[in-house]
Amino acid sequence: MEIIFLTFVFVLSIFLGFELINKVPSTLHTPLMSGSNAISGITLVGALASAGSANQSLATILGTLAVAFATINVVGGYLVTDRMLAMFKKKKQGGES
Amino acid sequence: MSTEIIINLVYVASAVLFIFGLKLLGSPDTARRGNLISAAGMFIAVVVTLLDQKIIAYEYIALGIVLGALVGAVAARKVAMTGMPELVALFNGFGGLASLMVGWAALAMALSIADTTAPVPLFTLVTVFVSILIGGLTFTGSLLAYGKLSERISGRPFMYDGQRIINGLILLAVLACAVLFILDPTNQNWLYLAVALALVLGVMFVLPIGGADMPVVIALLNSLSGVAAAAAGFAIGNILLIVAGSLVGASGLILTNIMCKAMNRSLRNVLFSGFGVVKKVSGPVVEQGEVNPITADDAYYILEAAASVVIIPGYGMAVAQAQHAVKELQTILEGNGVEVVYAIHPVAGRMPGHMNVLLAEADVPYDLLLEMDQVNPRLETFDVALVIGANDVVNPAAREVESSPIYGMPVINADKARTVFVLKRSMASGFAGIDNPLFFKENTRMLFGDAKEMLGNLVKAFD
């Protein structure tokens, strides 16, 4: 039953994703990519459990590495997206000199 | 039990924040807030996960987080806007690698507690292999894309006979390893082999893809990094990973589709055909007329008399780092009473939205950036079209020359403007090696030289 449940969540989320992203204008496609990339760093949550289990050395090593890489993804992704989005200005706000 | 409920409730909140964050990305006004909200969702998810009773040792976690945060923060701060495609490719790869390792670690833990009476469930085994396969190929594929984008290795497509067959065989071999391992989980060699083959497959899959097709590949790898996270979520039974991963998967897929449409090609064609090495089309090639070069001083007189100018940037603008010079020219023209707009082709540059970010960096207001469909109907009304480092996206052969490899691709009709200025390094053909009749049109004037320098000369002419 759990398989069905997880698959259900998976399918619905994909449809939701399509609906959400279709509305993003092409101006924002690069920040969208880096921002959604940061979200895919969610795998960090999964890595935490392995890194902290401390009863299986291979899992701990893999988990720790996964935590490091996923954190790069999360921290770097959100920061760089923020940096980019801060640059997008409308004409009135001093875009024109 | 109660901590588990709390954790899962917070996961729901976190998923809601991701969704709102993506929703707010729908407009440039709210996008920054959206990103913050999404980051908040990630933060609470990580914090609440640390409460999990199964986590007993925090030192490795702390080590991983500190290292990762340092590297990520430095990379995000140091990267130049022109280097954004490489960075995104690299981050995609790290996401894929993390998912691979999460899947593998989950397997290692499951194997360590399993015995003959309670073997590892088949579902876990299968999903672990999916996350290893997708995560692994995303990792090496992204690394190769990074190498091509940063020009550490040649951006030319690399093809050989039977490439598709070999890739197919590698994929089959991975699946065979999976089956063999599932039949006998005590023999870890099949697992190692599967990991190695997944890594090889990523390289093989990006090798035949040329630099000009990179927007498609990055979008696809973006999607795959999400799918890999979702697969890892299946493997460890974590709903939040599934939700967030599939949102990203869907997002990347939409971008992939947009990019393919903008090139009038199918995804299959992009992935397998190695566009950049298309042989020169034989038969009645366009009649190549005279090229009309012009100096910056002469161009000045035409620009000075113009009432409206459309600027069409391409990858060349990024290479020459000319976005600030473009903005300077825009300011001067506007001071002269000229209407200036930008026309952005969806595949201009090396990733979706590449030009928009560069121009935003140079303080060009985003409401001046028009999409191809907005600008094409009124191109005849512009006095000057200024093409800066763009080639294929303004190639009229896409409309006129049926034998051209890009025939049918939607392009910005720069040639319809009264006068066309093309800023170009030399007469060498564009990345795809396709002739561009635009350069030979009667109303076209070529400004040969470095884009940044040329723009500087134009600006000087106005002083």
- Give yes or no for residue B102 having a pLDDT over 90: yes
- For an interface test with B, the pick among A5, A72, A96 (most B C-beta atoms closer than 10 Å) comes out as A72
Print the domain residue range for B141. 80-276
Query: Is B290 inside any structural domain?
Result: no
What number of CA atoms fall less than 13 Å from residue B66's CA on the CB side? 6
Q: How far is A62 from chain B (nearest CA, A)?
A: 6
- Average pLDDT over chain B reads 88
- Give yes or no for residue B47 having a pLDDT over 60: yes
- Give yes or no for residue B303 having a pLDDT over 80: yes
CB B35 within 8 A of CB A82: yes
Residue of A nearest to B41 (CA): A39
Q: Do B243 and A9 touch (CB under 8 A)?
A: yes
Residue of B nearest to A23 (CA): B26
Query: Is A19 inside any structural domain?
Result: no
- What pLDDT does B432 receive? 55
Q: For residue B245, what are the β-bridge partners?
A: none
Q: For residue B423, what are the β-bridge partners?
A: B388, B447
Helix (H) or strand (E) holding B19: helix B2-24
Which of residues B242, B276, B310 is at a domain's end? Answer: B276
Partners of A31 on chain B (C-beta within 8 Å) are 25, 31, 35, 353, 357
pLDDT in tens, B415-448: 999 999 999 887 765 555 677 888 888 899 998 8
Write the DSSP string, B97-123.
Answer: HHHHHHHHHHHHHHHHH--SSSPPPHH
- Give yes or no for residue A44 having a pLDDT over 70: yes
- Give yes or no for residue B328 having a pLDDT over 90: yes
- Average pLDDT over chain A reads 88
- Give yes or no for residue B58 having a pLDDT over 60: yes
Q: Does residue B95 sit in the same domain as residue B244?
A: yes
- What pLDDT does B274 receive? 60
- Of chain B, the percentage scoring pLDDT greater than 70 comes to 95
Q: Does residue B32 sit in the same domain as residue B148?
A: no
Q: Does residue B443 sit in the same domain as residue B410?
A: yes
CB B14 within 8 A of CB B44: yes
- What pLDDT does B429 receive? 55
Closest CA relative to residue A64, chosen from B437, B101, B413, B131:
B101
- Give yes or no for residue A93 having a pLDDT over 60: no
Closest CA relative to residue B302, chosen from B444, B188, B195, B196:
B444
More confident residue, B267 or B280: B267
Q: Does residue B106 sit in the same domain as residue B59?
A: no
Nearest CB to A42: which of B19, B229, B346?
B229
Query: Is B197 inside any structural domain?
Result: yes
Residue at token pair 């706000």: A93
Q: Rounded mean pLDDT of A49-72?
A: 87
Phi/psi for B448 (5° steps) reads -85, 135
Q: Do A37 and B52 touch (CB under 8 A)?
A: no
Query: Is A38 inside any structural domain?
Result: yes
Q: Does residue B178 sit in the same domain as residue B153?
A: yes
- Which of B72-86, B256-270, B401-415 is most confident? B72-86
Chain B interface includes A9 (CB < 8 A): yes
- B239-262 vs A29-40: helix axis angle to the nearest 10? 150
Chain B interface includes A91 (CB < 8 A): yes
Q: How far is B289 from chain A (nearest CA, A)?
A: 36
Q: How many domains does chain A have?
A: 1
Query: Is B287 inside any structural domain?
Result: no
Question: How far apart (Å, rounded) are the C-alpha atoms in residues B380 and B374?
Answer: 13
Q: Does residue B94 sit in the same domain as residue B131?
A: yes
Q: Do B38 and A39 touch (CB under 8 A)?
A: yes
DSSP state of A76: I
Q: Does residue B18 sit in the same domain as residue B85?
A: no
Q: Is B161 a catalytic residue?
A: no
Query: Is B303 inside any structural domain?
Result: yes
Query: Is A55 inside any structural domain?
Result: yes
Task: To the nearest 10°, report the CA torsion of B101, B104, B105, B108.
Answer: -160
Which of residues B246, B276, B306 is at a domain's end? Answer: B276
Closest CA relative to residue B386, chosen from B346, B350, B427, B424:
B424
Helix, strand, coil proportions of chain A in percent (round to 5)? 80, 0, 20
Tell me the pLDDT band of B391, cut-offs 50, 70 and 90. confident
Angstrom distances, CA of residue B248 to CA of B19, B96, B234, B251, B335: 11, 12, 15, 5, 43
Q: Does residue B320 sit in the same domain as residue B341?
A: yes
Question: How far apart (Å, rounded) are the C-alpha atoms in residues A70 and A77?
Answer: 10
- Of chain B, the percentage scoring pLDDT greater than 90 comes to 57
Q: What is the ipTM of this complex?
A: 0.93
pLDDT in tens, B206-242: 988 887 788 899 999 999 999 999 999 999 989 999 9
- Give yes or no for residue B195 having a pLDDT over 90: yes
Question: How far apart (Å, rounded) are the C-alpha atoms in residues B255 and A21?
Answer: 9
Closest CA relative to residue B392, chosen from B357, B440, B437, B340:
B437
- Residue in B392, B415, B435, B450 annotated catalytic: B392
More confident residue, B278 or B248: B248
- What pLDDT does B154 receive? 79
- What pLDDT does A95 receive? 42
Partners of B240 on chain A (C-beta within 8 Å) are 42, 45
- Give yes or no for residue B277 having a pLDDT over 60: no
- Quick one: tokens of A57? 């050395």
- Give yes or no for residue A16 having a pLDDT over 80: yes
DSSP state of B279: P
Q: Rounded mean pLDDT of A61-75?
A: 95
- Give yes or no for residue B288 having a pLDDT over 70: no
The residues near B347 (Cβ < 8 Å, ≥ 6 apart) are B212, B215, B259, B262, B263, B393
- For an interface test with B, the pick among A37, A83, A92 (most B C-beta atoms closer than 10 Å) comes out as A37
Query: Is A83 inside any structural domain?
Result: yes
Q: How far is B32 from chain A (nearest CA, A)?
A: 6
Partners of B81 on chain A (C-beta within 8 Å) are 84
Q: Rounded mean pLDDT of B454-458?
A: 90
- Give yes or no for residue B283 having a pLDDT over 60: no
The residues near B208 (Cβ < 8 Å, ≥ 6 apart) are B157, B158, B159, B163, B271, B272, B273, B274
- Give yes or no for residue A96 having a pLDDT over 60: no
Question: How far apart (Å, rounded) are the C-alpha atoms in residues B365 and A93?
Answer: 9
Query: Is B64 inside any structural domain?
Result: yes
Q: Rounded mean pLDDT of B175-199?
A: 90
In the stretch 18-47 of chain A, residues with CB closer than 8 A to chain B read: 18, 20-47
Q: For residue B461, what are the β-bridge partners?
A: none
Query: Is A92 inside any structural domain?
Result: no
- SS3 for B446? strand
Tell me the pLDDT band of B273, cut-offs 50, 70 and 90. low
Q: How many domains does chain B have?
A: 3
- SS3 for B343? strand
- What pLDDT does B284 receive? 46
- Give yes or no for residue B449 having a pLDDT over 80: yes
B353: number of Cβ within 10 Å: 28
Print the domain residue range for A66. 33-87
Q: Rounded mean pLDDT of B67-86?
A: 93
Residue at token pair 């006095």: B383
pLDDT in tens, B158-182: 877 788 888 889 999 999 999 999 8
